[in-house]
Structures are given as structure tokens and as C-alpha cells.
Amino acid sequence: MNHSFKTLAAVSVLAMASLASAPAMAELSANVGVNSNYIWRGVTQTDDEAAISGGLDFAHDSGIYLGTWTSSLGGDGQYELDLYGGYAGEVGAVSYDLGVISYLYPVGDDELDFTEIYGNLGFGPITAGIAYTVDKEAGGDENDLYYSLGANFEVKEGLSLGALVGYYDFEDDSVDDYSHYQVSLTKSAGDFGDFTFAVDKNDIDDGSDIDDTRVSIGWSKSFDL
């Protein structure tokens, strides 16, 4: 999406770092990815251009994790830099993840940086999440809420089907709330990473093509350091 819209429609929390399950007390990992269109919370972040991304994650057996992730945003050398940390664990069959994330945009004069606190719950293939905006560099209303509900099912070994619905509730009455939907198919290629085919749609009605259905393909790979 363009930057003027991003100031009002802050992007969502990405998938957080996975907790280490190995006997070691801590784990450091890295990830890299490319996508034909960087879509976040149902809206393109790159004006429908391709993006390259990567990150580093530190996870401790205690449940504490820290990480950073960055992605290109199209022309003029603009990029996004995310910094996050939190605590994740399980209680019986329910998993939980609580944390804080800052989205930073170092290049450009627009005041786009913002920070959210978030919470996620998982049960089997179902995941529910909420994110609350606590700070915006541009000032103004900060109490935006984003809700999401997703599911991921294994179709067969190495192939999974995902579905996600999200809803953005803005504090600013002049900004229209919106919903978005995604269906994705991901194939694990082992040492060659994961390939994803996704279809995204939102119901933003501002007279532009922002609500057009978008199809994207992506590749990502994670590895221990």
C-alpha cells in the first residue's frame, strides 16, 4: 500500500519466532524470503511490486524471544524494519504468545513508525490474535485494534492449506474500518525452503483498486545459526 494509507492502516504482526524445542538453552536462527507482492493485513505494502525480506530470531527455552525482520518496500530505497520481543508457551493443549513489536521506516520523511502490543492463542489448527496500537510517530489516535482468526490444515505430507480473516478497528472515526481475507497453499520443499501461493482480498471502498483481489507467490527458508 502507499505510505499515506499506511500511516492510518498499520500493518499486522507477522508470524513470531518459533520457540526452541531442542535441549539447548537458546537458539539463534535466520530467515530469508522473496515474494511477488508483499501483502500485510490484506493490503499491498509495495504497490504490487516484488519484495525481498529476511530476519534474525533468538529464542530461549524459558519462552522469551527476541527478533528483527526487514523487507524492501519498492523504489527509493525504502524499507521496513521490525523489532519485536515477547514470551510464548503452552498450557495443556493451548499455546499462547504475548509481546510487543515496533515497525520502523528509516528512509523517507513521512512519520510512519508505530508500536503495537499483541496476544495470540492457538488450539490445534486454529489461531486467534489481537494487536493494539500504543504509539505512533505521527501522533493522533493510537488506540487502533486489529483482530485475526486463522486456521492451517495439512492436506497431505508437506502440503498445507491456510485460511485467515482479519478485521481492523480504527480509533479515528474518519478512517473506515475494514475486513480482509486470505487463502493460501504452502508446500514444504525440505532443504529448499517453503513455497506459498496466496489469494488476498479486502473490503476497503475508497474508489481505488486497493480492494482488488490479489494473487501472490512466495518462497522462504529458515535455518539455524
| pLDDT, tens only, 35-81 | 999 999 999 999 999 999 999 999 999 999 999 999 999 878 899 99
The pLDDT of residue 89: 97
Buried b / exposed e along 184-221 (16+ C-beta atoms within 10 A): bebeeeeeebbebebebebebeeeeebbeebebebebe
DSSP-based three-state secondary structure for 3 = helix
Out of 2.40.160.40, 1.10.287.110, 3.90.1150.10, 3.40.50.300, the CATH code matching 3-224 is: 2.40.160.40
Dihedral, CA of residue 163, residue 169, residue 170 and residue 174, to nearest 10: 100
The pLDDT of residue 24: 53
pTM: 0.87
The pLDDT of residue 111: 87
The pLDDT of residue 109: 77
- Sign of the Cα torsion 45, 19, 55, 68 reads positive
- When pLDDT is cut at 50, 70 and 90, the band that residue 13 belongs to is very low
